[in-house]
Structure 1
Amino acid sequence: MKKILFITGVLLAQSLFSQNSDILNVVTTPDGFYSKPGRVTKEDRRIDGSPYVNGDKFEKVIIKDYSKNVQDLRYNAYRDEMEFKLGDELYNANKTEGLKVQFLSLKKTYESVTYSYDGKTKSGYLVLLVDKPKFSLYKREKMELMGGTRSNNGFTKDANDYYERDKDLYLIAKDKKFLKFPKNTSEASEVFSIDKKELESFVKSNKINFNKEPDMIKLVEFINK
């Protein structure tokens, strides 16, 4: 297990967080997971709703091969950041490729990955649903910021900007390549390179719905056997 660099951690924390009494809780590892977190910029306007898909509470997490003394985290699906609090200030944890953050109470694991979708390459957090050497299944959670409306008369109030959850995106990963989860048996046969008749038999006998997450997981688990 990686050890906390206490001396370096304290020095970095002092430079980053001044004389905050909570500096000894900052986790600093050899590859700098928490060594240079970025402070979150506060919005200067009122926005309705929440950017947090799991609620705004900070939760206990486990990060494999790291000290158990990590900050409580929460996932901001609008900024695509893991946030933690130090004193009265809010910070983003560093993104480290391949890092897996397990939220125990939520029974969810987020992985920091670089992936391409719709012609764009992005580094962010995806929910890890199936972790296998052959095919893995991920889910992207995203919040959009929607514009409010201004009243055109003196009887109604202006509507604030608001957060709205985007449709979850499910991605199949193979050899570090990401593809959108197939919509039907024909697409799945091509994506997974499996005999169509064999796949049709499994889908029919298990009543697989390609739009339901539990069924997606069951299908990918079957493909990996």
Structure 2
Amino acid sequence: MKKYMLLISFLLFCSTGLFAQSVYDLRNAIDFFESNKMQRGEFRRTLSESEIEGSPYYIDEFTKGTIFTSQKIQYNDVPLRYNIYNDEMEFQTPDEQILAIAAPEIVEKAVIGEDTFSNIPYELGNKVKRAYFILLIEGTLSLYARPEVMYQKPKEAAAYKEPEPAKFIKRPDMFYLRINQQAAVEIESKKDLLNFFNDHQKQIQDFIKENKIKPAKKDKMMELVEYYNSL
């Protein structure tokens, strides 16, 4: 992969005509993006991937998708891909520049193919941050997956060992639960799962036991969330 630069101006891209089907007024869009600090001409991050094995992307190729902003503005047919490692939504301009949205807080969600990437708050230690999560089930209780990619530094040659290039290594998804509009909570263990629920505790405990619910199993977590939402 060649060296790329992450964004600067989403608005200029919009004006090229790629969003011919978008439901927004251009003047309002200009005012909106300027007021929300879309950064122009600023290099946010530069990463050389030419000598790195693996991929930081959820899917390497760009796929036409839709961006929904927190102001309910919708941009259709945008070539998008999600950079897991940087937690950034990238898009491709008609002249094939690869850019990323400079103010992700204005994005409510991005729909790419069959996947919905929701930009939501989540608990991280004693803090609340925001990131993209893949929506699996939406309801009173929602279930999200968080893809993870680890960067492994290159290793020099040693006795009886060949040198190893830098690598992006994909790890299993982590699962998060979210009640209504509260911050999402990571569920790593069965203890986390049991401690998450403040209501229907006896029913939930029985369901977890009877159905052998495990936090690392996507299908089992979906069963649990669907059950909770039926109560």
Do they superpose with TM above 0.5? yes
Length, aligned pairs only: 203
Q: Give the match for residue 65 of structure 2.
A: 61
Q: Note the residue ranges of structure 2 that are not aligned, 5 or more in a row.
A: 1-8
Could you tell me which of 152, 165, 180 is aligned with 1:146? 152
Which residue of the other structure, out of 74, 91, 94, is the alignment partner of 1:84? 91
| Aligned Cα root-mean-square deviation (Å) | 3.3
Gaps of 5+ in 1: 1-8
Report if the CA contact (8 A) 1:51-1:76 is conserved. yes
One of 192, 196, 203 as aligned partner of 1:198: 203
The CA deviation string for residues 83-113 of structure 1, in whole angstroms up to 9 with x for no partner, is 1112132100241356111122xx2110112
Residue 122 of structure 1, CA deviation = 2.9
Identity in percent: 24
**Paired amino acid for 2:108:** L
Question: Is the CA contact (8 Å cut-off) linking 2:135 and 2:145 kept in structure 1?
Answer: yes
Alignment partner, residue 41 of structure 1: 46
Aligned residues of 1:80 and 1:125 also touching (Cα < 8 A): yes
| Aligned equivalent of 1:4 | none
Structure 1 or 2, whichever has the larger Rg, is 1
Matched to 2:18, the amino acid is N
Contact 2:66 2:78 in 1 (8 A): no
The answer as to whether partners of 2:175 and 2:215 remain within 8 angstroms in 1 is: no
Structure-2 change in CA distance of 1:203 and 1:152 (3 Å): closer
Q: Deviations over 1:176-207 (max 9, x none)?
A: 233222633x6544422244442244335544
Deviation digits for residues 156-181 of structure 1, max 9, x if unmatched? Answer: 75321110123322111234233222
Measured after TM superposition, the shift of residue 75 of structure 1 is 0.4
Structure 2 equivalent of residue 5 of structure 1: none
| Cα distance, 1:172–1:44 mapped onto 2, change above 3 Å | closer
User: 2:111 is aligned with what amino acid?
Assistant: Q
Output the TM-score relative to the length of structure 2.
Answer: 0.71
In structure 2, what residue type is equivalent to 1:73?
L
* TM-score calculated relative to the size of structure 1: 0.73
Does the Cα contact within 8 Å between 1:112 and 1:124 map onto a contact in 2? yes
